[in-house]
Structure 1
Amino acid sequence: MPLEITPERIAGIERLIRPHIRHTPVMRVDMSDFGLAQRAVDLKLEYLQHSGSFKARGAFTNLLTRTVPAAGVVAASGGNHGAAVAYAAMRLGVPATIYVPSVTSPAKAERIRGYGAKLVVGGERYADALAASESFAIESGALAIHAFDQPETLLGQGTLGAEIEADLPEITTLLVAVGGGGLIGGIAAWFSGRVKVVAVEPEGSPTLHRALAAGEPVDAPAEGIAADSLAPRRVGKLMFPIAEAFIARSMLVSDDDIRAAQRALWDKVRIVTEPGGAAAFAALLSGKYVPGSDERVAVLICGANTTAVTFDEPLAR
């Protein structure tokens, strides 16, 4: 494990950012409501976090532990990290410039603008936006905040692991969606093998899956309906040794699995989540992950930056 990313440091960061983040709730559901065998499963509703995703944790950690120059901060993002950095910058009175790829959803772009940040479209994919943001950082002197491959980012996301353990000390298994790996890396570092952490990725962007097979981060496709949140070119270097040490299993779900999970979460428990936010639940709902009889399972619902549900039916009178 990288020396910077330890449970002790995560605990310290949790105390630092606690005044700025929400303690998000847990919902216990029965999988029989979703057409599966009866089983209690806990959903950690982190999509209710400030800015609509867990990313606010890493954003505040960066802004509160690093020196921010007069030029402010810059970030590249598929949308959620950018929204989180924009939100944290707004709350702390810091200028922010956010580079996004063209695949970013309109809902996420609008949220970034709504927090007062300057939004720049920097290419077709996250890697393009990242390159553009790095050039801007050099030219302007702004502080670059990486979406996942930055110690402060992993430490901040790791505070979610601490919160989950406080809420659900009895769980044995936690399903987590993976993009660049900042979230699962921080969470896995917190638990350090005390809980079975299962990584879930879309088939169209298997970044961690390929990295674990290759023994190092490698390029992967960046496709599918969750491409705006779960499709970097490769996972971060900082999280990879954590993943090798503490992630028990990596698995893939299809776009159809993710769509079905989104629909089921809305139909059965009125949760509105973006594709990336539903990916971990998709592994359970699709049967790609079948828990053992003795497992106490929790699923992280991590993001909700999507277009709003439209209610077409008239109100009953």
Structure 2
Amino acid sequence: MVDRVKDKFDSYSLKTFPAKEKCLNAVYNMIAWTYIDTRDLSKIQGRKLRRIYLKHHLGIRVAELPRDSDIGWIRVSDRKKTLKNYRRRLAMASEPLELAWLFHELSRYLIDIRRYDLARFYSKKARDMGQEAGNEQWMLNCQHLFIRIEINQNYRNEAKEAALLALSSSKKLGLDFLVDFYKNAIEVIDDMDMEKLLAFDAIAVRQQLILNLMPDDMKAEVDFLWRRMDAVPADRRLSVMPGCKPLDRKFKLPCKRKTILPGPPTDPEKQARKALLKQYELSKERPGFVDFDQYE
């Protein structure tokens, strides 16, 4: 809807529509307040549900609901077209409020594609444009983006600093629900275990647990086995596991097959297709030929 309104206003010249800049600034302010209004969690019943909504606002997914669209985080469908529109609009933009909106949307898009360094850069530019325009709402929205970026990169201290700055901005706006939102956000960041957010290797953890269960005289051998397996690709680890090295007795050299099955796996669909085609294939018998032996 915002894109349609923006394109419609841009289609008019200042001579045709003298109040275009004033109306566009009103649209930019409405967009900023739309992002802020989604952080009003006072109407949600239940402390646990409010906590889930808060974490989803911070980019911490803990449940299927609420969806991103429910909290005002609309993901783009066509990335190439969206990026092309951002480039075109940034080339034509000159007003600080418009630039604040464009840089904010571009940073949000970069967060979705996990380009956090660029997202941080454009969030700073959006905050500077909001400060130049004297718009506290866009400055708050940019600080909220900083919180999401730092949490996604597992930077607890930086995320807390961004949350404190967002809290000071919310106090300037004088909205109680925003103050409560960012106070609770700081508590979530303090209680958050960053190690759980990191992408640990589950296989390595399981191997370590198995190693701890081994007796002392076998730990060195098992540890050496794990290190050998790590050095070999996953599709060739059967040659490393003890007792699982496949041998083909027909050949003198060890077989290089990557399976322990006697033959390649069959495809049921392919076999059924062959059987169906075989029913309708042409007969190989000669026309007019009679085999009298079958009547004996």
Fold in common (TM above 0.5): no
More helix per residue: 1 or 2?
A: 2
Quick check: which one's strand share is greater?
1
Which of 1 and 2 has higher RCO (CA within 8 Å, sep 6+)? 1
Q: TM-score range by the shorter chain?
A: under 0.3
Task: State the TM-score, normalized to the length of structure 1.
Answer: 0.23
